Chain A
Amino acid sequence: MNRFAELLDRLAYEPGRTNKLRLVTGYFRETSDPDRGYALAALTGALSFKHAKPALIRDLIAARTDPVLFGLSYDYVGDLSETVALMWPKTELIAHNNPPPPTLTEVVARLRTLGKTELPKQLSRWLDELDETGRWALLKLVTGAMRIGVSARLAKTAAAALGDEDPHDVELIWPGLSPPYLDLFAWLEGRGEKPVNRDPAPFRPVMLAHAVENTDFAGMDASDYIAEWKWDGIRVQAVAGRDARGHIVARLYSRSGEDITQSFPDLLPSLHLPGAIDGELLVVREARVQSFNVLQQRLNRKVVSPKLVREFPIHLRAYDLLGDDENDLRELPFEARRKHLETFVEKLGDVRIDLSPTIPFATWDQLTAARANPAAAGAGEDADAVEGVMLKRREAPYLPGRPKGQWWKWKRDPHVIDAVLMYAQRGHGKRSSYYSDYTFGVWTMGESGDELVPVGKAYFGFTDEELLQIDRFVRRNTTEKFGPVRHVVHEPDKGLVLEVAFEGLQRSPRHKSGVAMRFPRISRLRWDKPPREADRLETLERMLKAETAEIEASAVQR
């Protein structure tokens, strides 16, 4: 347990993905079975036991310490698990009879079988046996609030690195595995066969597109490509297969292979034929595709209420077929797969699943025109949910990863506004010596005339050279410092104007301005522009109006 705790401790401070991977892989290498398997399960959220409530933790510490000292400490530390872990008093264990601290395996095994009434006593015993970091990790584990910045995907990638295997291969066999993953580690260490995924509805690694640049078109022949709309939804793989008893098992995977079936129970009955569809998850109301803002109401929900299902009906727009019953279609050219897909979708005959239409075009100019005006080029009322155009080579097989020259995405131009840099904050990791996180604002009428109101934060989009320039500007034009944050001069004639690109807007009560941007980034530095000429909040509000009307209509019904 203490070694696992050390890992969590280190991960909690490490900002970089590559370094996180190194830490986790290092842990898997040094730790033996079955401890490392339960660690992998903890990191991927695959452990299941009843979590302890904060009130229980409070009771435990109250029984051991002075309430005044606990109160002062909790005030200072601000986190219950951490406060308890740090101030848990050392017990007078008899030296020769000290039990060794529990292993992660023991903890997990006990937690699974423990009755509710036995939990407090067991927890106290463990807290006595562990050190500070061990106690902290234990409390994080039992309260189910790990939050150490490690995704399931990252943990699996770290495991794959143990055997120099492709993380996709781990993802593929994952649904057939269970903690403590002895077979997985045996394979990764070359001691055993690759585990077979007996899952009737397995995930297949996804094919991804490159962003097309204007210069790319010169080398591309329009007749080699099929074009489709790029839908602004969630890329999913919808897989159905038959289990040993011949029953249909259906699953929905994110593009990284995460099983997200539980969030979309309303789509499952539609997946009644064995096959694997690659497509986009969208909300469709009255035969009209809704914008991403609307779809967002369905994302990251643990509980899916009937009301939510009714008001945000989920839909699958299919654009590829990877498997048809027992047949793997991935080797076929896209054009042939598309034929299979058309037949398959017709056979399904379900209103929730339809075909992503192709865009007819003969020249790049025609496609350029379609991209500029999707509504007139066949997208019709769904044009709001179109975020550009996809180009797929007719001959392309379905290849995992991001192969060159097969699929291209040609995104709609982003929205841009000119905003004024207001605050700058130091970055993390490699950027910890740079002011690289920027809060920017636009003008609005305040009580005493025009003032800037913050509308967003961005920390990428600029080049390394531009970062140096902004960093220098921030250091020379700081008006006040608050810890890691600097107030940067922002007056009508003094300050830096940033051109900010973003994908969309949302109303947000958390922001003073009332708006929040989707995917904002710095697209250009406007050294030439005085702050007084930056954009106004009214501009954003106009852009917002169209987008929010639809969400609010349903919010009122709720």
Chain B
Amino acid sequence: MTEMRPQDILLPTAAGLCCKPGGFHIDPVRPVARALITHGHSDHARAGHGAVLATRETLDMMRLRYGEDFAGSTQAIAYGEEIRLGDVGVAFHPAGHVLGSAQIAVTCGDTRIVASGDYKEARDPTCAPFELVPCDVFITEATFGLPVFRHGDAANEVKKLLASVALFPERAHLVGAYSLGKAQRVIALLRQQGYDAPIHLHGAMEAITQYYASRGVSLGELRPARGMKKADLAGTITLAPPSATSDLWTRRFPDPVTAFASGWMRVRARARQRGVELPLVISDHADWDGLTATIAATGAGEVWVTHGQEDALVHWCKAQGLRAQPLDLVGYGDEESETALASEAEV
């Protein structure tokens, strides 16, 4: 068998990352015949494809968001299971990003490429831990691809939140968090710190949070914020999509403290721009140290860098003697589009 070049196996196209020999796209941004989806965030998981292959959780999340008919046909794949598609073998491995998130390993001949989707190596009580998959080419995200991004221990950030709740018992604490993944992680982290009071939810995140609970993620007692008396919300914690924390919706809370759980909160200007009073550095993406350590550990000789701060990461790879290039993929954000939609669900 002749050695194939990596770009013969996976190639960026307008629709997304395309695998010609396997006849599929990974996380396509336009409708395609066969799509492999890494995880449920709306910029990666879109409706309207012919056949969709993904983990059971990712398929369920797509169903929750788009309805039963989101694709022509679906097929669930378990972590570690290997499937033959055309001339390539594919396997899904935990990415540690959100519940059901996967890296997709594509093997053709002797060459293995891992498309990591979004990932983090930090511990997360709401999803399976990131699994290191040795490969020849590693496709990495670069959302936080600058050395200023170091997320630290998320438990400390949650302690910060609880300290603030103790200091301001007459105020409500509103925590902006992406409704898929981040919100549930914050809740789980709060429970790990022993916080056992009911946690309130913005309407837009009720369904997805219930789904997490149904998959065995223990989140304790959850209540809708809707219909609560203003005075009764004093001293409570409510999770809401980020855009809702500065909207009309907040007027039902007594003198709210606005928190935001995001890796972006590391940078003050970003936090201030959003009017955040209590920034919580909690990210579902790998930080700089996580990105560089993972890249090194995969043993890949070549690295393709997508969505985020590609320049710095490519520079770093080259300094390590790795072949590296930015991968020109459009249409992936940092879940911001998802939250804009979510917040419109309840006004």
- Picked from B150, B248, B276, the residue with its CB within 8 Å of the CB of A132 is B150
Residue B37 at the chain A interface, CB threshold 8 Å: no
Residue B298 at the chain A interface, CB threshold 8 Å: no
- Write the chain A residue with the least CB distance to B247: A433
Distance in Å: Cβ of B320 to nearest Cβ of chain A: 11
The tally of residues in A whose CB lies under 8 Å from a CB in B reads 34
Residue A529 at the chain B interface, CB threshold 8 Å: no
Are B255 and A22 within 8 A (Cβ)? no
Are A19 and B246 within 8 A (Cβ)? no
Distance in Å: Cβ of A462 to nearest Cβ of chain B: 17
User: Which residues 113-132 in A have Cβ within 8 Å of B in the complex?
Assistant: 131-132
Distance in Å: Cβ of A391 to nearest Cβ of chain B: 38
- Write the chain B residue with the least CB distance to A471: B248
Whole-angstrom distance between the alpha carbons of A192 and B269 in the complex?
44
Residue B267 at the chain A interface, CB threshold 8 Å: yes
Are A432 and B275 within 8 A (Cβ)? yes
Whole-angstrom distance between the alpha carbons of A14 and B255 in the complex?
13
For A77, what are the chain B residues with a Cβ–Cβ distance below 8 Å?
148, 267, 269
- Write the chain A residue with the least CB distance to B244: A433
Instruction: Using known A-B contacts A82-B268, A433-B250, determine if residue A72 contacts B311 with beta carbons closer than 8 Å.
Output: yes
Instruction: Using known A-B contacts A73-B312, A433-B246, A433-B250, determine if residue A428 contacts B167 with beta carbons closer than 8 Å.
Output: no
For B152, what are the chain A residues with a Cβ–Cβ distance below 8 Å?
131-132
Provide the A482-507 mask, 1 if CB < 8 A to any CB of B, else 0: 01100000000000000000000000
For B149, what are the chain A residues with a Cβ–Cβ distance below 8 Å?
86
The tally of residues in B whose CB lies under 8 Å from a CB in A reads 34
Instruction: Using known A-B contacts A76-B267, A432-B246, A484-B273, determine if residue A69 contacts B279 with beta carbons closer than 8 Å.
Output: no
The residue among B147, B249, B278 with the most chain A CB atoms within 10 A of its own CB is: B147
For B148, what are the chain A residues with a Cβ–Cβ distance below 8 Å?
73, 76-77, 83, 86-87
Residue A162 at the chain B interface, CB threshold 8 Å: no
Residue B271 at the chain A interface, CB threshold 8 Å: yes
Provide the B161-175 mask, 1 if CB < 8 A to any CB of A, else 0: 000000110000000
Instruction: Using known A-B contacts A15-B277, A69-B147, A86-B150, determine if residue A78 contacts B269 with beta carbons closer than 8 Å.
Output: yes
Distance in Å: Cβ of B277 to nearest Cβ of chain A: 5
For B247, what are the chain A residues with a Cβ–Cβ distance below 8 Å?
433
Instruction: Using known A-B contacts A14-B277, A72-B311, A73-B147, determine if residue A432 contacts B167 with beta carbons closer than 8 Å.
Output: no
For A15, what are the chain B residues with a Cβ–Cβ distance below 8 Å?
277
Are A86 and B319 within 8 A (Cβ)? no
Provide the A517-542 mask, 1 if CB < 8 A to any CB of B, else 0: 00000000000000000000000000
- Picked from B150, B272, B311, the residue with its CB within 8 Å of the CB of A13 is B272
- Picked from A19, A76, A89, A131, the residue with its CB within 8 Å of the CB of B168 is A19
Residue A144 at the chain B interface, CB threshold 8 Å: no
Are A79 and B258 within 8 A (Cβ)? no
Residue A12 at the chain B interface, CB threshold 8 Å: yes
Instruction: Using known A-B contacts A19-B168, A433-B251, determine if residue A13 contacts B146 with beta carbons closer than 8 Å.
Output: no
Instruction: Using known A-B contacts A12-B268, A72-B312, A433-B246, determine if residue A26 contacts B251 with beta carbons closer than 8 Å.
Output: no
- Picked from A72, A87, A426, A484, the residue with its CB within 8 Å of the CB of B309 is A72
For B277, what are the chain A residues with a Cβ–Cβ distance below 8 Å?
13-15, 429
Are A483 and B273 within 8 A (Cβ)? yes
Are B269 and A87 within 8 A (Cβ)? no
Instruction: Using known A-B contacts A69-B316, A73-B147, determine if residue A26 contacts B167 with beta carbons closer than 8 Å.
Output: yes
- Write the chain A residue with the least CB distance to B253: A433
Residues in A lying within 8 Å of B, measured CB to CB: 10, 12-15, 19, 22-23, 26, 65-66, 68-69, 72-73, 76-79, 82-83, 86-87, 89, 131-132, 426, 428-430, 432-433, 483-484
Q: Report 15 cross-chain contacts, Cβ distance below 8 Å, ordered by A residue.
A: A12-B268, A13-B279, A65-B147, A66-B316, A66-B319, A69-B312, A69-B316, A72-B146, A72-B315, A86-B150, A132-B150, A428-B275, A433-B247, A433-B250, A483-B273
Q: List the 9 closest A-B pairs by CB distance, nearest first.
A: A86-B148, A87-B147, A433-B250, A73-B148, A72-B312, A87-B148, A432-B275, A13-B277, A73-B146
